[in-house]
Chain A
Amino acid sequence: MSQPKISPSTAREDLRTEPQVIRIVIIAIAVTFLTVFVVLPLVVVFAQAFSKGIGAYFAALSDPEALSAIRLTLMVAAISVGLNLVFGVIAAWAIAKFDFRGKTLLISLIDLPFSVSPVISGLVFVLLFGAQGFLGPWLQANDVHILFAVPGIALATIFVTFPFVARALIPLMQEQGTQEEEAAISLGASGLQTFFRVTLPNIKWGVLYSVLLCNARAMGEFGAVSVVSGHIRGETNTMPLLVEILYNEYQFVAAFAIASLLAMLALITLVAKTILERHLDEGRLPGD
């Protein structure tokens, strides 16, 4: 007996002819899950933030402690995203476009922060810069403040977020290969001209995408920052840290007001990410 031939379209047709009931059940499960774990918490955050009215909400946000936390968070995010951007692009460039010894080791090192608990990452900096730490005595003698100050928070955030840019760019750059760079060089371009006119434009959407994710993580980081911050009110509390403190002090409106800002950041990131993902495909040359 001969096998019936199934063309791709009819095969897909067949897969879709699940009984209607099963389809509805599956979709219902997914929707319920999303509602309970994603939508509901978001709604609760905003409901709590506005539970005493709009006036109380804005009063909570314009509290000096809140303003200080927002400022600190923005500053730390700017520093760590900026540095990680430079580092990530250079690392991805080196890894994707050149062959050298220790390349695999470098790739694993870049991944390290993803596989280490943020609290441990923070502790490493305490061990390094703390009073009993490796560099502590020297730092104290020279009156340099890293731990329980902005530099420590920035360092911990940089550490936790540094894989984002390199990780996003390495596959993109590897896929694009070195052909266009070689073409540019043979047309007389210098190394810098090649980088800025050919390499960078080809990865710009990938760069934006990774900056976005890196920024979201930098602003939201809790664990590592909590260890190195020292929780000095009005000085070394970032937004996530302040949320926890206020919550523990039963200042629910204030806690959720700050949390609502972080939630909005997440929503904006989500929308921007969706838009960028569409552009990311433009980096690939179809039909080559």
Chain B
Amino acid sequence: MIEVKNIVKKFGAFAALDHVDLKVANGELLALLGPSGSGKTTLLRIIAGLDWPDAGEVSFDGENALAHGASERHVGFVFQHYALFRHMTVFENVAFGLRVQPRAIRKDEAAIRARVKELLDLVQLDWLSSRYPSQLSGGQRQRIALARALAIEPRILLLDEPFGALDAKVRKELRQWLRSLHHEINVTSIFVTHDQEEALEVANRVVVMDKGRIVQIGTPGDVYDNPATAFVHSFIGESIVLPVEVRDGCVELGGKPLNISADGVSSGASKLFVRRHDMAIGPAGSGAFEGAVRHVRTFGPIQRAEVALSAGEGTTVIEIDAPRDRELQPGDIVSLHPRRYRIFAGQD
């Protein structure tokens, strides 16, 4: 088990990590999700021993990891830009970790060759073994970087935005591949991304970071359905966000009361979050909002409608998703009611 306790990391006065706590179970595949600059890379680097925290503890299976440098931690790190050794062939890149082992435990040449071959087979790139990194595509480099990290039989595998630099199609393929690879080798892994869809698709558990803090930890379903903060709600999955006023448990939009409750939210300016597909369309007068349909686009199983809400002085335009079989025309007056919604106190 990897345990990170109360980690603080500062760059000058700026706290890149602000009291971070995290436990990762053995064999788990964890996604670290957060916007750019939220401290994901910094956290990985501290776990790997490439950076040192200003305060806090890191332990692997109860053993203090901070007592060891990066070269002694047996952490496989797949860098965002791969960091393949440019003057070495693919084969030598993968063999590197085996060749630099202390003589006492180093494998002989035949065993190293066998192991490298095995790893290249695992990432399905055996046929590239004599190429140089500059002769590979992005996706191939990515997989070689992974094979290289796995060569040392790491106790933990850290992947920093492994698909960040790849095009959409390759990303999709590699996601599934990574999932099944993890299933096969079952090494404890942390995988960083700023793409929520990717995190939700690949990981068993998702850790959401913002501004150097962990704001929520949960299964992908949890994080999507029960976001802990306004930030998580807007970062994970698209949402309709409306500025509302909470007054003694009642919710008002532009001075007009909505017939939804705000249990447990303290009075004051707040934000109402609704997923697009959670906005139910009913006959006029039945819901929380009234609005006029402006524009309808259909794709796949859904139709997306732009609705101008008549609330308060101005008009607020929102986009909702409705099933295909619901007849919608521009100009229709509709009533909208959120099946599920969240209200978070504060402006942001």
Contacts and interface: CB of A to CB of B under 8 A. Distances in A.
Interface stretch (B79-87, B309-317, B324-332): B79-87
Contacts of B48: 186
A180 B148 CA distance: 12
A285 B79 contact: no
Contacts of A35: none
Which 7 A-B pairs rank lowest in CB-CB distance, beginning with the nearest? A187-B97, A179-B83, A189-B100, A183-B83, A186-B77, A201-B87, A185-B70
A185 B48 CA distance: 10
9 contacts: A179-B81, A179-B83, A183-B83, A184-B85, A185-B50, A186-B71, A197-B100, A198-B85, A201-B88
Contacts of A285: 86, 133-134
Interface of A: 179-180, 182-190, 193, 197-198, 201-202, 283, 285-288
Interface of B: 48-50, 69-77, 79, 81, 83-88, 96-97, 100-101, 133-134, 148-149, 151-152
Nearest to A181: B83
Contacts of B69: 185
Given A185-B50, A202-B86, A202-B87, A190 B81 contact: no
A201 B87 CA distance: 7
A184 B75 CA distance: 12
A117 B74 CA distance: 53
B187 to A, nearest CB: 15
A188 B100 contact: yes
Given A186-B49, A186-B76, A193-B100, A180 B134 contact: no
Nearest to A284: B86
Contacts of A286: 134
Given A197-B100, A285-B133, A186 B86 contact: no
Given A180-B85, A285-B133, A189 B96 contact: yes
B222 to A, nearest CB: 32
Contact of B151 (A180, A187, A202): A187
Nearest to A179: B83
With most chain A CB atoms within 10 A of its CB, the pick from B50, B77, B84, B100 is B100
Nearest to A184: B96
A281 to B, nearest CB: 11
A190 B87 contact: no
A187 B134 contact: no
B152 A180 contact: no
A187 B95 CA distance: 10
A188 B101 contact: yes
Contacts of B101: 188
Contacts of A180: 83-86
A285 B138 CA distance: 12
A185 B152 CA distance: 12
B52 to A, nearest CB: 13
Given A188-B71, A198-B85, A285-B86, 18 more contacts: A180-B86, A182-B77, A182-B79, A183-B79, A183-B85, A183-B148, A184-B85, A186-B50, A186-B73, A186-B77, A187-B71, A187-B97, A188-B74, A188-B152, A189-B71, A189-B96, A190-B71, A197-B100
Given A182-B50, A182-B70, A287-B134, A188 B81 contact: no
A197 to B, nearest CB: 7
